[in-house]
Amino acid sequence: MYRQSVDRRQHPRCRARVMLAVVLVLTGAVATASARGPHVSLGLHQGRPALVVDGVPRAPLFHFSQEILDDYAQHFDAAGFRFYSCIELTSYLDLGWVGEQQYDYAKLDKVLSGFQRRLPQAYVLPKIHLWAPEWWLDKYPAERMGYDAEPEAPVWRPGDGLKHESFASRRWQHDAGEALRALVRHILDAPYADRVMGIFLAQGCFGEWLPWSWDPDHLPDSSESMRIALGQYVQRKYGGDVAALRRAWSDPDVTFETVRVPGRVARHRGDVGLFHDVARSHHVPDYRAAFQEATVDAIEHFCRIVKEESDGRLLTCVNYAYQPDVAWAAQETHHRAAARCLRSPWLDMLSAPHSYYYRDLGQHGNLRHFPESVSLHGKLFIDEADERTHLARPDYSFRLAQTMDQSRQVLRRSLANMLTYGVGMWYMDQSSGHWYDAPEFWQDFAAYQQWSDQSMKLSRTRRSEVACISALESEYVIASRTDVSAQFFVAQTEHLCRAGAPYDRFLIEDLEEDRLPDYKVYVFLVDFCLTDRQLAAIEKLKRQGRTLIWFWAPGFAGPSGLSLQRMEALTGMKLRQDAQPFAEVAVTPDLFPRAPRQFQAWRSTFGADVKQLSPRFVPQELDHSATVWGRYADTGEPALVHRDCGSWRSVYCATVPLDWSILQHIYERSGVHVYSRAGDNLMAGDRWVGLHTCTAGRKRICLPHPRPVYDVFNRRLIAGQTQEFEVDLAERETALFLLAQPEE
């Protein structure tokens, strides 16, 4: 077993190379190192970020397994795949950190030398977990993540467990950072160096930069490291003015050195309904902001080390900036500092598994991220398509496909999302090589690679006329144990995907910086807390007949406190604030004559799945410019209102989900091009259109402009030039259409 002892004053690369080469030869590895590393970089190509290999743009399509073993290597290589990621077969790849400045790279060498031997022309992005080893946590117990309700005898386990380091621990960042420096140097000195394209930096629960406990009863992080980070955060925020801190926290005795992490009572107790009122105290919102900032501090710290030690040669990737998707967790669980992370100069790529809530057959399986924001900042988003095929164990979580055909439909749906969004993707097998072990899959993967390659010769841009804007930091002012914004995202995404027109997702900071292209409809899904600059940016949108859609409490919270008047100015409607709990909204189906029969029959009310929202807001003093589309089911008062504000239109909805048929009605009134009116899951980019059907039947697709239409999966030309076409599709089938002549 080879162990390296690191002296930071020198880089013993020659000696290390000789010793490592001997080890790899003894294990049967090929020891032929390139004099230079892989020239894999990011570049803008056809309107979207792409991987560039030796100056040639390549489709960012990967395969991800625990380890790329012989059979999969052979099949994926034959299919044309050139990019891979892995974590190791039996556990995880980590820093090999076995003692003070002592590192064991046997596992890493086995995996990467095996990759080089099996796939000598391919590139790998190994996923390296940054957790502290148990011996280190025992030596430095004060550096562990703390919990409001400390679990009994917390255990250390790779990937999860509660005995782990605080993300805010400076000692962990330093020591793990030194271990990462040594690992990067080891990789660059290894014979397999020219196969490694970058480092996928993993940390937290499942390696996804999530806190080590998702249990809202535990409430991380109450450690001393986090308390110090909170003090540093508020010192920056309040400019070192202790009097300003005391006014903001309504605490005459607090100092930057004596700040305390708020407990569960403070975090879960609202001042006005579910809201913390910062006019009374900034304590809880400041803590949550500091907690999220500490995570991004750590991400940037480790990404910077990779860039420095590799002279910028290695790419960096993390699981971060997820669209909130877990409604039962505490607000701290989700990635809230996404805007800052996307602006990091040290980070190249972000990845996330797509939604677990709506990935069944007939559902959208949509990206769980903000892909347009990622692209806007020159970074590559990679969708993690970890769909369990019918070959997965029957007891495996989220195994939804039962047959080969069903498996193919969900894998095709992922490809359609990748191509229409112009992003990257990896098909992930978490089973050590069983989920794709069938001839049909290998034939399909070869075709997917061919279509991905062809996509690089076409426009990869979007043609959306609908934008969804989110202010993720809004959750800092929510006092509920339930993550409200996650409920909103989960419920409303289904209907945005079925409304017949593509939509783009951005963070409110992108709008604030005037980075967005023009859209006809803006959906402000999560915007409970807005700054004055953000409010000003929204005001600029209120022109040219645009429609702005609001949910529940837009702008109710702000830096100076809660304000009904701010909501009224934002929505263009007079509102009444009511303390009684939220009730369902009843819609009059007669107002939407083209709504589907099932909506008229049983979707006449909505909002039952969303936990109680408080306070409720009631539109008032409605004149001829306003139309009431829905009312509170218990009082009959207006709850869903459309108002013509002259140069713009406003739609206020008291809760989610606003049904896809109502969205479609809004789109048509706003001049948005609707591709499909059947309520199927639509995906559309400039040169690709995809459908994943909810129902069987003849489907009509209307294009914005005449184009050639080629049916990808059936390999047939539908029309040489057309603006409208029809196809017969089965229930829960995926169709993908190329809006160009295919290459032979």
631: Cα within 13 Å, side-chain hemisphere:
11
644-698: pLDDT as tens digits: 999 999 999 999 999 999 999 999 999 999 999 999 999 999 999 999 999 999 9
- Average pLDDT of span 332-354: 96
- Average pLDDT of span 134-140: 97
710: Cα within 13 Å, side-chain hemisphere:
12
Give whole-number Cα distances, 310 to 36, 38, 123, 307, 316, in Å.
Answer: 11, 11, 16, 5, 11
| More confident position, 13 or 313 | 313
Residue 744: the pLDDT is 63
Q: Which residue has the tokens 């050639």?
A: 708
Share of the chain above pLDDT 70, in %: 92
Residue 329: the pLDDT is 65
47/462 Cα distance (integer angstroms) = 9
At residue 328 the predicted structure's pLDDT band, cuts being 50, 70 and 90, is low
Virtual torsion, Cα 650, 652, 656, 662, nearest 10 deg: -50
Q: What is the DSSP letter of 329?
A: S
Position 189 pLDDT exceeds 80: yes
205/197 Cα distance (integer angstroms) = 25
SS3 514: coil
CA 186 to chain centre: 31
Residue 394 preceded by cis peptide, ω within 30: no
Whole-number average pLDDT of the chain: 92
- Average pLDDT of span 595-604: 52
Residue 383: the pLDDT is 98
| More confident position, 602 or 454 | 454
Q: Which residues, 6+ apart, have CB-to-CB distance to 81 below 8 Å? A: 61, 62, 63, 122, 445, 449
Position 600 pLDDT exceeds 50: no
- Average pLDDT of span 565-579: 97
At residue 594 the predicted structure's pLDDT band, cuts being 50, 70 and 90, is low
Range from 27-36, 78-87, 450-459, 465-474 carrying the lowest mean pLDDT: 27-36
- Average pLDDT of span 163-192: 98
Residue type, 594: R
Q: What is the DSSP string of 42-107?
A: EEEETTEEEEEETTEEE--EEEEESS--HHHHHHHHHTT--EEEE--SSS--B--EEETTEEE-HH
Share of the chain above pLDDT 90, in %: 83
Q: What is the DSSP letter of 529?
A: B
Of 290, 296, 289, 382, nearest to 345 (Cα)? 296
6 phi and psi angles, rounded to 5 deg: -100, 125
Give whole-number Cα distances, 426 to 65, 414, 453, 545, in Å.
Answer: 10, 9, 15, 40
